[in-house]
Structure 1
Amino acid sequence: MTTPRDLMIIAMEVAPRPPVEPGDLSLALAGAELIDLLAAEAIRLDGDHIVPAHRSAIADRLLDEAASSLVREAPYESVRDWLWRRGRGLSSAYLAAMEADGQLTRQRRRGTLFRTSQMVLADSPDRRLATVRWTSGEPILATLAAAVGIGDKRTADSASVADDAVATVLAAANDALMELEAVRQRRAIEKAAFDNIWRGE
């Protein structure tokens, strides 16, 4: 299992109300990928820039795809830029991959006019391992989850993370999520103002 897949499982397992926004989850997943790439020594950080190491295959398909998409020439890519580029639509990619791997199944809803289905977690060893990681309070998963509104609010500073590079990624992911929320709020205000003009208020 990988940190992104664990995060996807927890996002579905704990299921806050309202559910996690796909855009928020995608940014957090991109951050989780960087953390796993750091652990695999596929990258290192030079300040806040991602420096790829020697390219070797990674067992997880999406994580290997992430490694292959790294910018491999100086001045390299900042963590912030990576989060926004790699994070685009990433939650959908993980859902599709996990369904293909049998970690998710489609559950049909009954009693509705149209037959619809929703994705639910399969009972799998990966699900159980992710749950153990979550309930143990493992700081990286807990911090990423909290950043998207799952569990107790934490920050990169409050997490018990000894690795400076991991802390840098967690802080950048938190900043990107706050930036995305600010954009949503600004658009909501602009839409409300536009609606008021049409209503003559």
Structure 2
Amino acid sequence: MVKAVLKYLLTGLKEPCPENFREHLLNIVKQQFELWLGKKIICSHCKSGAILNESGFCPDCHVGGDLPFGAFMEVLVAFQRCTKEELITYTGHKNSDTSKAARAGLKLILEQDCSFLDACLDSLSRGRVPNYAFSVILDLPNPNLKDRKELILRLASGEKTGLALDFMKKLDNQVWLPDQERKDYLEKMIDHPDSTLRVQAMACWLGDTYSGVAL
């Protein structure tokens, strides 16, 4: 029922209506979302009385509940009712519907706001934002990343294992990185002291070799 109402609002609030009415309704949506996040929801599938975990799944029967978190987030993102900091936080939420909607909103802002993108990259280098924000940044269009090549490569240099792994897993999409620099990067990572990074770098190298990329 809640999800149906939210889907209706997502369409209905885009139609002309009094601004004060819209604002009041959106404030209620955000308040209700925050209340829902704090609710202890009992699994309706196995009837064991178990409380759904943060990801929305039952710890006993492992079936996911039909929760409205993602629908709430879609409305909040569509009408810009989440701050940039909130979007970063919710992108890392354990509920996949919530994180997917928040990620889409964060990606759009990063693409449109170059100052915010630069601030996020700087914060990543200082450890002030979660590492998963780097994964969102790497999905941005080529023009957003090309002019920030040096900083991105520095973040992916292996000082932080998670960032380097994210970069290598998305390396095929980084068309802004010239082939020679891609080769140099992988050669460096193959010699990295961290075995996890060496394995991932070798996988990328072999993938390039068998796909016909000249390394």
TM-score range for the pair, normalised by the shorter chain length:
under 0.3
TM-score by length of 1: 0.25
Relative to its length, the structure with more helix (as a share) is: 2
Greater relative contact order structure (CA < 8 Å, 6+ sep): 1
Relative to its length, the structure with more strand (as a share) is: 1
TM-score by length of 2: 0.24
